[in-house]
Amino acid sequence: MSKAEKTKQFIIEKTASLFNTKGYMSTSLSDITEATGLTKGSIYGNFGNKDEVALEVYKYNSGLLSKNMARSLGDEFPTTIDKLNAFVSFYRKNWKVVFENGGCPLMNAATEADDTFPCLKKQVIQSFEGWIKKIANVISDGQKIGEIHPDIDAHKYGSLFIMLIEGGILLAKTTEDENYLHLALDRILFTIDKELKLLPS
């Protein structure tokens, strides 16, 4: 990496938690300089404006979460059911880290950028679509090898799982009661076992 690239990455990493906690719209240039120890001139020497910093930080935050989620759906798990259960387990084990860093970056950005920050909204839509596609692909692969019921719609179930998780995180963080998230995750496990898993004939 060049010196400029290293500086940009430094700014992104130093402000990642700040943007996710305080908000992509509410975080000011002064907040950024305080978090990084850099001058305003240095910030603007690497980014065109604050919105550009916010977009890059969002990509960084959502990318980290996406990588971790993808790992739970990886080839290290022998069956489709194992992969889906590992995906649920990831959220069960990591909810504290997510909460301590301001909550889910996708949900936080989505609520802020709905009408006021169209570029960020576009990125959020792509992130959600990507997450749903990853889960749907795992389910579809399971259908091909006879582990998942052939009649279910993989994309609809991928969407359902994300909706349940995001709703669980929202209620749990708002009320400071983790049981809302666990309730959502339990429902996903029930759905996997009772609706997706193809029982031996």
Q: Each residue of 103-151: pLDDT tens digit? A: 788 888 888 777 778 888 899 999 999 999 999 999 999 999 999 999 9
Examine the pLDDT at 64 and tell me if it is beyond 90.
Answer: no
Q: Residue 155: what pLDDT?
A: 97
Q: Where are the domains of the chain?
A: 55-196
Position 201 confidence tier, pLDDT thresholds 50, 70, 90: low
* Nearest Cα to Cα of residue 23 among 46, 53, 44, 54: 54
Alpha-carbon dihedral angle through residues 23, 28, 31, 32, given to the nearest 10 degrees: 90
Q: Which fold has domain 55-196?
A: Tetracycline Repressor; domain 2 (1.10.357)
Q: How many whole angstroms from its chain centre is CA 103? A: 9
Find the mean pLDDT for residues 57-71: 86
Long-range contacts of 114-119 (CB under 8 A, 24+ apart): 116/25, 117/24, 117/25, 117/51, 117/54, 119/51, 119/55
- pLDDT at position 187: 98
CB 116, CB 73: distance < 8 Å: no
Stated pTM of the model: 0.86
Q: What is the mean pLDDT of residues 38-50?
A: 92
